Amino acid sequence: MSSTPVQITLEITPRQRFDIIDVTERVQEEFGDILQRYAKAVYCSLHTTAGYLEQSLSARLLHSRNHVDPFIRAFRNLFPPDANYRHDQLELRTELSEEQRKVEPKNADSHLIFISSGLRNCVTYKNKPDQPVYFIDLDGVNGESARRRKTSILAYNEEREVHRVRIPVGMSGHQVDSINLKDPRIGFMEELNTYLDRFGVDKGKIDISLPVDEKNAGLTVNEYETLLMRYDLIEVLRNPLRFAAMQGKHMLLDPRAIPSKTLNYAKYDLVHVFNELMDAFRVSSSVVEKILAKFIAVPAERFLRMKKGVSLLVSNEDNGKSRIVQGTYQSPILVQWQPTENQTRHIDVVITKFD
């Protein structure tokens, strides 16, 4: 069994706006059995509206399109297209030129689905030849044109931790806030690159996570666009059903049909959304009411699958220099929905080298 890590890149052309592509099938077609010599593989999406499910979640969905599809569709119902997202009001996007506004996709719904459903930019799978790994694209077609997607796959057999550190990050006093960890004024990414050089990490990964005592906060990798992060995401954290209600496609006609304790949510077809999620996980209808009742009593972050940690791929594949592999618009983002006492949060960083 080879011990030298191998990296390949796939180009993917989605067939429709929401598409589920079996990457292992594509690898077999283009590269043969190249991955089967390795115990594990890191799958890395270079896009903010297309990514992967963690292997454990995919297993709960039976690694099946028939279960992955309704799972994602439940979040697509929460965030329908054209629901008055600030991100999609292109006339407000001062960073765009007039020419860019003509072609810029209105895809706030895809960003919010990615963040809320727990899709990941970077996941590690134990290699199983007969098990699919799905690249899930939420915004694969813009108008009449299919978008060109890229995903990197780094397979390896052995890994070792080379460094562990806790880094403080300053937060504002606002109740709901998001911090772009790629912002050079923070220095977070620069510090990570310093460690890569110091420990000679040619190929590996960086896991960044919130300590267990960091409450009411999460991490994601996405586009840090001001209107998306400062308005749309904040609205979701305050009320995860806001945009579904604005679209009006899932309103209940008879609010009296739901128990009185859920009247605050009577105008949303919350039951429909939950039924889709429960169908995806093969949960019986007798359990749905219990889960629904619990959801009504808990805040948004319990329903939204925002993660306490994310991973970043490290590679020297392009020019021989170790770097964090990221797409043009990808940034690690720290989000909080309750302020901290001293306006500081901490992030644990673990750097792993593939040998």
> Domains (ranges, CATH) in the chain?
6-354 (2.60.120.460)
d(CA 57, CA 66): 14
d(CA 44, CA 120): 8
Confidence class for position 323, pLDDT limits 50, 70, 90: very high
Q: What is the pLDDT of residues 147-176, one digit of tens each?
A: 999 999 999 999 999 999 999 999 988 888
User: What does the radius of gyration of the chain's CA atoms come to, in whole angstroms?
Assistant: 21
pLDDT value of residue 242: 78
Nearest CA among 323, 120, 37, 293 for reference residue 205: 323
Are residues 58 and 68 in contact, defined by beta-carbon separation less than 8 angstroms?
Answer: yes
Are residues 306 and 178 in contact, defined by beta-carbon separation less than 8 angstroms?
Answer: no
Q: What is the pLDDT of residues 237-294, one digit of tens each?
A: 877 777 876 654 443 434 444 343 333 433 344 555 655 666 666 655 554 444 444 4
Are residues 77 and 250 in contact, defined by beta-carbon separation less than 8 angstroms?
Answer: yes
d(CA 203, CA 159): 10
d(CA 355, CA 323): 17
Are residues 136 and 129 in contact, defined by beta-carbon separation less than 8 angstroms?
Answer: no
Q: Indicate the SS3 state at residue 178.
A: strand
The first and second tokens of residue 244, run together, are 């579904």
Q: What is the pLDDT of residues 75-87, one digit of tens each?
A: 898 899 988 899 9
pTM of the model: 0.85
Nearest CA among 332, 329, 335, 331 for reference residue 234: 335
Nearest CA among 95, 100, 127, 308 for reference residue 220: 308
